[in-house]
């Protein structure tokens, strides 16, 4: 068995549960968040493992500088796009995440945004706070009978599909590794992308941000969409081209958008965030007490299991 993890650095805000589990298992813990790259270059090689959420970027140079000492990078969450996984592998450093711990929370936020889009809830609430009673300004439409396209039928995409079927939505979807039969078993019609664009009233993306999914929704694909389409992104900034979407909202082709994630974060493209047809939340998909307790305890448990020789949640 490889040598045990004795010292863990917690580099992003995480629930106390994580610290408690590690300490109860005899592991020394340093909590030091919001570190600069220079500080990380010093602190990382002093630890056997580091735990991050999404704020700290574990880059190739940090990993190279920590090689030989750092054995493990733990991501308390799903996406590992803030960790250079190939560089970790090259330096014999294990990367672990907690891929299921926040799926339900992310799916619930997605459904909240879709229903908010259909009924203009944030805009109507803001108008009430401004002292208005503008009932005529916020005519909505039912989601019942409308078509939801889910791009990426993994953990979150599937949970979203199941929940919105309960509202009477027809769900179509695309995922290169899912078979027609697997989709059918969940009442989802699997279609190629070219058939998805013209049919969907709502398109929600639940894919990882990789080369193949960057700019998946852009000027060309938006032009193939139904007039009145609404786009939802609770996955990662960069999957939908925000500039192209603003153009589509401005020319009346797209009817609305709801985004939890941006490129970069916090977002600098204010024309998108401030657009009256856009609902924006500050990366809240996993921000529930439930998900945060789960990611914190799961990543700590995984490290404890690693020390016992059972490795869980490794990428």
**Closest distance to ligand MLT from the beta carbon of 34 (Å):** 15
Q: Which of 4, 45, 79, 122 binds ligand MLT (CB under 6 A)?
A: 79
Q: Which of 96, 151, 161, 245 binds ligand NAD (CB under 6 A)?
A: 151
- β-pairing, 28-31 with 7-10? parallel
3-state secondary structure of 27: coil
Q: Which is nearer to ligand NAD, 14 or 209 (CB)?
A: 209
- Find the part of the chain contacting ligand MLT (CB under 6 A) among 71-79, 108-116, 176-184, 206-214: 71-79
Would you state the structure tokens that stand for residue 124, as one six-digit string? Answer: 């109507």
- β-pairing, 189-190 with 278-280? unpaired
Q: Which residues contact 42 (CB under 8 A, 6 or more apart)?
A: none
Q: Which of 9, 18, 70, 78 binds ligand MLT (CB under 6 A)?
A: 78
CA angle 80, 81, 84 (to 5 degrees): 90
- β-pairing, 7-10 with 49-52? parallel
Distance of alpha carbon 268 from alpha carbon 29, whole angstroms: 35
Whose structure tokens read 């030989």?
68
Catalytic residues: 236, 265, 283
Report if residue 313 touches ligand NAD, rule: CB under 6 A.
no
Position with the least CB separation from ligand NAD? 154
Report if residue 51 touches ligand MLT, rule: CB under 6 A.
no
Burial class, 33, CB count within 10 angstroms (exposed 0-12 / middle 13-18 / buried 19+): middle
Distance (Å) of CA 145 to CA 55, 107, 179, 222, 308: 40, 20, 24, 22, 52
Query: Per-residue contact track with ligand MLT, 237 to 276, x per CB under 6 A?
Result: ----------------------------------------
Q: Which is nearer to ligand MLT, 102 or 297 (CB)?
A: 102
Q: Which is nearer to ligand NAD, 91 or 158 (CB)?
A: 158
Report if residue 236 touches ligand NAD, rule: CB under 6 A.
yes
**Closest distance to ligand NAD from the beta carbon of 239 (Å):** 8
**Closest distance to ligand NAD from the beta carbon of 217 (Å):** 11
Binding interface with ligand MLT (CB under 6 A): 53-54, 77-79, 102, 285-286
């Amino acid at each position: 068995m490889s040598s045990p993890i004795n010292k863990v650095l917690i580099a992003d805000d995480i629930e106390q549960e994580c610290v408690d589990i590690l300490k109860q298992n005899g592991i020394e813990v340093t909590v030091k968040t919001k570190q600069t790259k220079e500080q990380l270059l010093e602190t990382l090689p002093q630890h056997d493992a580091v735990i991050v959420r999404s704020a700290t970027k574990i880059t190739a140079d940090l990993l190279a500088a920590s090689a030989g000492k750092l054995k493990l990078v733990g991501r308390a969450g799903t996406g590992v796009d803030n960790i250079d996984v190939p560089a970790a592998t090259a330096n014999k450093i294990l990367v672990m995440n907690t891929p299921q711990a926040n799926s339900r929370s992310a799916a619930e936020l997605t459904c909240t945004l879709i229903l908010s889009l259909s009924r203009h809830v944030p805009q109507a609430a803001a108008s009430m706070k401004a002292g208005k009673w503008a009932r005529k300004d916020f005519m909505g439409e039912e989601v019942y009978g409308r078509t939801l396209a889910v791009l990426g039928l993994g953990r979150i995409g599937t949970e979203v599909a199941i929940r919105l079927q309960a509202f009477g939505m027809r769900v179509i979807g695309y995922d290169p590794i899912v078979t027609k039969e697997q989709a059918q078993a969940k009442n989802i019609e699997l279609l190629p992308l070219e058939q998805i664009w013209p049919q969907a009233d709502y398109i929600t993306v639940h894919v990882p941000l990789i080369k193949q999914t960057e700019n998946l929704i852009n000027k060309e694909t938006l032009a193939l969409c139904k007039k009145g389409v609404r786009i939802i992104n609770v996955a990662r900034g960069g999957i939908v081209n925000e500039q192209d979407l603003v153009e589509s909202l401005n020319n009346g082709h797209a009817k609305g958008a709801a985004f939890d994630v941006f490129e970069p974060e916090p977002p600098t493209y204010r024309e998108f965030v401030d657009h009256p047809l856009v609902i924006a939340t500050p990366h809240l998909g996993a921000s529930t007490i439930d998900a945060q307790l789960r990611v914190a305890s799961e990543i700590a448990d995984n490290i404890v299991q690693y020390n016992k020789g059972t490795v869980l949640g490794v990428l």
